Amino acid sequence: MLIGIDGNEANVNQRVGIGEYSFELLWQFCENQKSKIKGQNHNSKFKIYLKNKPIGSFPREQDWWRYSVFGPKKFWTQFALPLNLYLGRPRPNVFFSPTHYAPRFSPIPTVISIMDLSYIHFPELFKKSDLYQLMNWTAYSVRNAKKVLTISQASKDDIIKVYRVPEDRVVVTYPGIKQELGIMNRESGISRIKKKYGIEGNYILFVGTLQPRKNIVRLIEAFSHVILRSKATKDLDSSSRPVGTQNDIGLIIVGKKGWLYEDILRAPKKFGIEDRVKFLDFVSDEDLTLFYQNALCFVLPSLYEGFGLPVLEAMQYGCPVITSNVSSLPEAGGDAALYINPEDVSDIADNLRLMIDKPQLRKELIKKGYQQVRKFSWEKTARETLRVLQELVAKNF
């Protein structure tokens, strides 16, 4: 059996979202196949389709793992890929696109992945050009795909409702999380990243792309309520004031600029706390681990998420979590997080104060977080994805 895969989302050095999902699946497919070969139990080969040469961190080519690089790069999915699938030999038995976008006019049974339908729920948060592509191309892809994979039950319910597809055509394969880099020495680690990034005191952490759906403006406003109350009580005797209300707490926002991010960047000044909020672009995995390990808490107040991987990443590194009570986020957080109404600034602020002022609560959530993380792995995601692909091939023979 030959499995074709669109590897372009994974073929970048700085990966988030779909890019990380695609990259992890490719590696797990490869590792899974290696283990089968050792046991003399393998009958699958993989062909990864790309418009650029594979990056160095991709799996190496082998007899059963090949890359096919071709153009033209422009309109690659609409033109170059379908042409290659029609004319290329050997032709894959099934084609997997780990994105919303299936190749046009594919002669091969196709499986796609849809992370979420945020563009349906919040169309005003997208650029018109992006929204047009998402609305039209996703609808086409869902109609023509034999199976649709998604990463949460909430997203599955959305896909069935919006696109009116049979329930058995949509399969939930929960994502995993990045492999733990190791628990680093907290004291030396925090000293290093504070010096490197100019951070002073304790901090609350957000990780995610700067875009309206992440609800960062409300987070900054809520954080300003916490800081302003803390300033108002600074004259209280320190012995009568909770440790967490000290005036050195900052908000660290780690993430690349996405779209419609201008209001986010202006928010700290708007709410009078520009000296307490620091924006950091993409940081290394090693540094991100240290940010998680040393934060007072991690906050993901999104209006909508397909899953919310940073929730599990934070838990993996012993960082207590506050997140929204909407869409799939309760599936990711289980009973190991504090939940907030993402549209209620006061609720966000109250839960920030609660997390800051209650060290015992943080300890309890950290313990529960370690247990929640064990439920998810990329190895499991890849195994369930391969099962869908193999069953589809068997059905079509």
Q: Would you state the structure tokens that stand for residue 249, as one six-digit string? A: 């707490």
Task: Give the model confidence (pLDDT) of 66-83 as tens digits.
Answer: 999 999 999 999 999 999
Residues of the chain with CATH 3.40.50.2000: 2-176+377-396, 186-373
Cα-only R_g, the chain: 23
Sequence-distant (≥ 6) Cβ neighbours of residue 397 within 8 angstroms: none
Taking residues 160-185, report their average pLDDT: 85
What class, spelled out in words, does domain 2-176+377-396 have in CATH? alpha beta
Element at 13 (helix H, strand E): none
Taking residues 335-347, report their average pLDDT: 98
Tell me the C-alpha distance between 369 and 177, whole Å: 13
Tell me the C-alpha distance between 355 and 332, whole Å: 19
Taking residues 313-319, report their average pLDDT: 96
On whether the CB atoms of residues 386 and 32 are closer than 8 A, the answer is yes
On whether the CB atoms of residues 5 and 49 are closer than 8 A, the answer is yes
**DSSP letter, residue 180:** P
Is domain 186-373 given the CATH code 1.10.1200.10 in the classification? no
Task: Give the model confidence (pLDDT) of 1-52 as tens digits.
Answer: 999 999 999 999 888 789 999 999 999 999 988 887 654 456 789 999 999 9
**DSSP letter, residue 257:** B
Structure confidence at residue 186 as a pLDDT band (50, 70, 90): low
Q: Would you state the structure tokens that stand for residue 142, as one six-digit string? A: 């869902």
- CB burial of residue 341 (10 Å; 0-12, 13-18, 19+): middle
Question: Helices 309-316 and 285-294: crossing angle, nearest 10°?
Answer: 70
Taking residues 198-214, report their average pLDDT: 93
Sequence-distant (≥ 6) Cβ neighbours of residue 199 within 8 angstroms: 193, 250, 252, 278
Tell me the C-alpha distance between 133 and 139, whole Å: 10
Tell me the C-alpha distance between 387 and 397, whole Å: 16
Structure confidence at residue 234 as a pLDDT band (50, 70, 90): low
- Residue 185 has a pLDDT of 59
What is the value of pTM for the model shown?
0.83
